[in-house]
Chain A
Amino acid sequence: MKPELIVARIEQQSPGVLERHSTAYDGMLTLETAPQRAWELLKFLRDDEMLNFHFLTTLCGIHYPEAKGRELCVMYQLHNWPKNVRVRVKTYLPIEDPHIATVTNLWATADWMERETYDFFGVVFDGHPNLKRILNVEDLDVFPMRKEYRLEDGTRTDKDDRFFGRTGNEGRRFD
């Protein structure tokens, strides 16, 4: 199943749901959709007989602090076992109000994965049956995987990346 075929099928069956698509470094097709339509796209990918992405391999959050209005990314990775094709679905949310519909009604396994993403990134999965922290303590008041939280004292002046010729995003401190 070629990537073009998957994209064509989605655009034919539910037009407008795809915002962008690309092939990642590892060759996996990446589909991008608006958060409001993510559930619809995932359901289509799962239920369409031709595509048959029946297995939710994993789901995780990613934080891009510089991307205004689309700071938080939720990545779903699906797998069609009979044809052995994997696909990624990404959707971007604003950090002020990161809401997205839950997919626990599509896959039971999304339950803890979404709780983990909520726990670490603060993404709110609307309709989740039990959205609370899972690995961190319940009274934690930050979402620790967001990039602003460093591992150690941010005032340290040694380990300065500029001495190694790196600047910008690539030169984040090496704690």
Chain B
Amino acid sequence: MEIQSYFSSLDSLDGELATLNLGPTHPATHGIFQNVLKMNGERVVSAEPTIGYIHRAFEKLAEHRPYNQITPITDRLNYCSSPINNIGWHMTVEKLARIEVPKRAQYMRVILMELARIADHLICNSVIGVDTGALTGFTYMFQERERIYEMYEEICGTRLTTNIGRIGGMERDFTPAFHQKLRDFLKTFPERFEEFNSMLERNRIFMDRTIGAGPISAERALSYGFTGPNLRACGVDYDVRVMEPYSSYEDFDFIIPVGTQGDTYDRFMVRQEEVRQSLRIIRQAYENLPGGPYHADVPAYYLPEKPDVYTKMEALIYHFKIVMGEVPIPKGEVYHAVEGANGELGFYLISDGGRQPYRLHFRRPCFIYYQAYPEMIRGAMLSDAILTMSSLNVIAGELDA
């Protein structure tokens, strides 16, 4: 009754509330999740999210896989920015096995992670554009994302589920084609991105639709465990890259953009600025890319060169042991967090010395902040609720694990 009296009965159609199923397969939800909405006319009175439609038991699977085979599982968390997940996982294992990764590999990883962040933010922000009625920007930004995917292809051979890098470093060095593509990207992308930005940033229709839509206060956001751009839009400058720098992030000069209102417009603006900052980081990392090896000298963890496997006994032994999951794994507990595209992506790993983790828990930012959604859209128009969801950038893979 308390919720029903939220609006005067004069506003409701015939004094009755309608129940509306938003999803699970509705194009506006950008993924498979359901919200059962209680509607008063066009306003949302309450929402009941149902999730788990693409739950694939990653934590259970991870207890039955050797460490190197868990990387492809992490691909499928936030599949808009798989390299961040992959590299976050590698760093967790490296923390457990106390492997020091050479500087070149760290910089290479930074470049890839920031490319992934750009790709992720491009999708999120251009989709906010789509949901406000501006489809054009999306089609152009998808071409830019395509170029990032082509760069992934040069590094790992795949595009979406990347399985990028290896425990101990990178699988291969940057290829000449990658260098060419990255230089090309750094040259032409900023202009196209600013063009996209100018379409929306001061666009009256866009501003009217997004300012004040789905706001959340910094205090509530913290209580709800928000991290990443969604938290920064509320004005809290928490960023794992700065708080606990990993992979040499301390070497780079960049700022953490923050918003003030925590609404859809601020989330959009924070992501836009983060794209520019990511470009800055990529430039710095690429210009100062150190020489040297692209992986640590850890034959027990890192696969030997294939020709060596056929000709050298030692390489053959290591190859066999790694493929069979027989790598030395210390006992212990580690937590490692990286700044995923949506916030703090944490890996809590308990090892009992076995070839597979005893327990692996993923701290998935999407899962954690999506529970604030009913509170954020209560009393809002349905169209704002759609917009709020797309600006939260809920990725079903990360949500359901």
Chain A residues close to B by CB (< 8 Å): 24-26, 28, 30, 54-58, 60, 62-63, 75, 77, 81, 84, 86, 88, 107-109, 111-113, 116, 120, 134-137, 144-145, 149-151, 164, 166, 169-175
Cα–Cα distance between A44 and B139 once the two chains are bound (Å): 51
- Nearest-neighbour CB distance to chain B for A73, whole angstroms, equals 9
* Beta-carbon contact of A172 and B356 below 8 Å: yes
Contact A26 B95 (CB under 8 A): yes
User: A26-B95, A120-B59, A151-B60 are contacts. A170–B334 as well, Cβ < 8 Å?
Assistant: no
In the bound complex, residues from chain A placing their C-beta under 8 Å from that of B246 are: none
Q: A55-B222, A109-B224 are in contact. Are A135 and B401 (CB under 8 A)?
A: yes
A28 CB → nearest B CB, Å = 6
Residue pair B363, A84 in contact (C-beta under 8 Å):
no
Binding site for A on B (CB under 8 A): 51-52, 55, 57, 59-61, 64, 66, 95-96, 220, 222-225, 238, 243-244, 324-326, 330-337, 344, 346, 348, 350, 352-356, 359, 361, 363, 367-368, 370-372, 400-401
Across chains A and B, which 8 residue pairs bring their CB atoms closest together, nearest first?
A: A25-B332, A109-B225, A135-B52, A26-B334, A58-B363, A60-B361, A170-B354, A135-B55
Give chain A residues whose Cβ lies under 8 Å from the Cβ of B368: 58, 109, 112-113
The reply to whether B223 and A108 form a contact with Cβ atoms under 8 Å apart is: yes
Residues of A contacting B332 in the complex (Cβ-Cβ under 8 angstroms): 24-26
Least Cβ distance of A24 to chain B in Å? 4
Q: Which residue of B lies closest to A55 (CB)?
A: B222
Contacting residues, chain A, for B352 (C-beta < 8 A) = 169-170
Tell me, rounded to whole Å, the shortest Cβ–Cβ distance linking A119 to chain B: 9
How many A-B pairs have beta carbons closer than 8 Å: the answer is: 108
Instruction: Collect the chain B residues with CB atoms within 8 Å of residue A24's CB.
Output: 332-334
Residue of B whose beta carbon sits closest to that of A60:
B361
Contact of A170 among B223, B346, B353 (CB under 8 A): B353
A8 to B129, CA, bound (A): 53
Bound complex: CA of A135 vs CA of B55, how far in Å? Answer: 6
In contact, A25 and B55 (Cβ under 8 angstroms):
no
Listed A/B pairs (19) with beta-carbon separation below 8 Å: A24-B333, A24-B334, A26-B95, A26-B335, A28-B333, A28-B335, A60-B361, A107-B225, A108-B372, A109-B368, A109-B371, A113-B368, A116-B367, A134-B51, A134-B52, A149-B60, A151-B64, A164-B326, A170-B354
Excluding A24-B333, A55-B225, A58-B368, 9 further A-B contacts by CB distance (< 8 Å) are A60-B348, A62-B359, A108-B371, A116-B367, A136-B52, A149-B60, A166-B354, A169-B354, A174-B325
